[in-house]
Amino acid sequence: MQLYTDSLLNDLAGQPDGQESMLRQMARGPERNVLEHLGQLFSQVASPVQDRWADSLRSTDNRRFFQGFGEAVSAAFLAKSGWSIVDLCAPRPCLLLKHQDGRTMHMVTLAFLKHPPRLEDERARETLARVVNRADSDRRITILVHKWNPHPFDPEPVRRCVDVWLAAIKKGEWKGRYATYEDDHVKIEFALTDEPTLEGQGSVAFLLAPPNGLHALDVVESRLVYEIDNLVSMAPEGTSILVSMVTNTAWGLPPGLVRSLFYGRPIWSIADGHPENRKFAFTRGDDPALFHEDRYHPVSGVLVVDRPQQRGPCGRAYLNPWSSATLRASDINAPTFSTVRPEADKGLHVMRWTP
């Protein structure tokens, strides 16, 4: 059975509709090659999975299509690392995977279908990032937008605020590393990090703003906890579970808050200005964190997938070092946050990103 024929994709691309479907958008746009790659994966999976995907991945209903799309894209990151998709599994609509070395794993996909951001707001935030990027700062700056009402954005007052703040820090007149700017339309918080600004590099480490922002992180955390509680309580003893979270746009979530959600706060970190060399040390402690919970030990990791503008699906994986069924960085064909040096006698795991 073939998932997408050229004639089917051409028909989809040529059909007008009042409420645009994601499938038709992809069939007529640059992501058509993503559909073709999923068609190749479709030919390699077990028959029950083919039956499920044949229904969802050809649907013009966005919710049904995107759930199937999320499952297939997540499976693709694993298929390239030696895993085969061998069956559907319970208790949820999930996939049973088997590695070529004999290991098995259940993968459950949570699809988050979000409205694309307003173009005007995106341009205004890009302007904000450019302005702060030009700031003369020896350490990088994070930007957190707490409030953003639609308005004609003037970056000059923000630029002056940042310049005054950095000048006061250099003179020793400013206590702490935070500053805020607020007017009738926006409320912005700036934080100075410990990461040095390298030559030729902008000052902005990341910018977090609505509609993604902290609300998105709250939604992610609530759904993760709810779904994992159900999975772990109903899954057979000894089941290894990988959770994938997939969204149709860029997540825009702050890396530090995502790490804290899974691992808690690090007890120390080391950085030399190069992200690939940065290391973090974690222990199981009193911090509320998903991977710290004893009942979540079957969860071997979380695969996070999004679709930044004008790019295909991008994935990154957070592995659980305290899982009863740990995964290796080589098990997922994506950047992986994993252990590079376990110190079991101290209960310590030194972790970093592995390309």
pLDDT tens across 202-235, in order? 888 878 775 555 667 778 888 999 888 888 888 8
Work out the pLDDT band at 190, boundaries 50, 70, 90.
very high
Instruction: Locate 31 and state its tokens.
Output: 């992501």
Residue 241 has pLDDT above 90, yes or no: yes
Same structural domain for residues 238 and 349? yes
Same structural domain for residues 157 and 238? no
Same structural domain for residues 57 and 98? yes
Q: Which of 208, 236, 255 is the last residue of a domain?
A: 208
Residue 116, sorted as left (phi over 0), alpha (psi -120 to 50) or beta, turns out to be: beta
Same structural domain for residues 181 and 284? no
Q: Say if 22 falls within a structural domain.
A: no
Same structural domain for residues 157 and 100? no
Residue 123 has pLDDT above 60, yes or no: yes
Work out the pLDDT band at 330, boundaries 50, 70, 90.
very high
333-355: average pLDDT = 85
Same structural domain for residues 199 and 216? no
Q: Which of 57-66, 130-139, 153-162, 167-176 has the highest mean pLDDT?
A: 57-66
Same structural domain for residues 275 and 199? no
Give the DSSP letter of residue 273: S
pLDDT tens, position by position, 72-114: 999 999 999 999 999 999 877 799 999 999 999 999 999 998 7
Q: Which of 56-60, 131-135, 249-253, 305-309 has the highest mean pLDDT?
A: 56-60
Give me the pLDDT at residue 337, please. 96
Domain extent at residue 238: 47-115+211-355
Give me the pLDDT at residue 210, please. 59
Instruction: Locate 181 and state its tokens.
Output: 């700017």
Same structural domain for residues 86 and 225? yes
Give me the pLDDT at residue 27, please. 92
Same structural domain for residues 56 and 162? no
Concatenating the DSSP letter of every residue in 153-165 gives ---HHHHHHHHHH
Give me the pLDDT at residue 316, please. 96
Q: Say if 104 falls within a structural domain.
A: yes
Please report how many Cα atoms fall inside a 13 Å half-sphere around the Cα of residue 4, on the Cβ side.
Answer: 26
Q: Which of 208, 233, 257 is the last residue of a domain?
A: 208
Work out the pLDDT band at 308, boundaries 50, 70, 90.
confident
Give me the pLDDT at residue 19, please. 63
Residue 29 has pLDDT above 60, yes or no: yes
Work out the pLDDT band at 36, boundaries 50, 70, 90.
very high
Rounded to whole angstroms, the Cα distance separating 27 from 16 reads 12
Query: What is the sign, positive or negative, of the torsion defined by CA atoms of 134, 140, 145, 146?
Result: negative
Q: Say if 37 falls within a structural domain.
A: no
Strand arrangement, sheet containing 279-283: 83-89, 94-99, 104-112, 241-247, 299-306, 314-319, 336-343, 348-354, 279-283, 268-270
pLDDT tens, position by position, 273-282: 676 678 999 9
Q: Say if 11 falls within a structural domain.
A: no
282-287: average pLDDT = 83
Instruction: Locate 129 and state its tokens.
Output: 């990032």
Could you tell me the CA-to-CA distances from 272 to 108, 133, 259, 269, 275 in Å, in that order? 37, 20, 19, 10, 8
Same structural domain for residues 220 and 345? yes
Same structural domain for residues 183 and 232? no
Instruction: Locate 355 and state its tokens.
Output: 């390309």
Q: Say if 33 falls within a structural domain.
A: no
- Residue 337's closest CA among 315, 310, 309? 315
User: Alpha helices of the chain — where are they, by DSSP H?
Assistant: 6-14, 22-28, 32-42, 47-56, 62-79, 119-133, 156-170, 213-234, 255-263
- Residue 241's closest CA among 325, 310, 304? 325
Give me the pLDDT at residue 305, please. 95
Number of domains in the chain: 2
Residue with tokens 């029950």: 48
Q: Say if 31 falls within a structural domain.
A: no
39-56: average pLDDT = 96
Same structural domain for residues 230 and 194? no
Q: Which of 188, 208, 228 is the last residue of a domain?
A: 208
Q: Say if 56 falls within a structural domain.
A: yes
Work out the pLDDT band at 63, boundaries 50, 70, 90.
very high
Q: Say if 15 falls within a structural domain.
A: no
Give me the pLDDT at residue 70, please. 96
Q: Is 314 helix (H, G, I), strand (E, B) or coil?
A: strand
Work out the pLDDT band at 286, boundaries 50, 70, 90.
confident
Give me the pLDDT at residue 57, please. 97
Give me the pLDDT at residue 199, please. 80
Question: One-letter amino acid identity for 257?
Answer: L
243-261: average pLDDT = 86
Higher per-residue confidence, 277 vs 65: 65
Concatenating the DSSP letter of every residue in 146-193 gives EEE-SS----HHHHHHHHHHHHHHHTT---SSEEEEE-SSEEEEEEEE
Residue 168, Cα to own-chain centre: how many angstroms?
Answer: 36
* Mean pLDDT value across the chain: 88
The pTM of this model reads 0.79
Q: Is the peptide bond before 91 cis (omega within 30 degrees of 0)?
A: yes
Rounded to whole angstroms, the Cα distance separating 127 from 125 reads 5
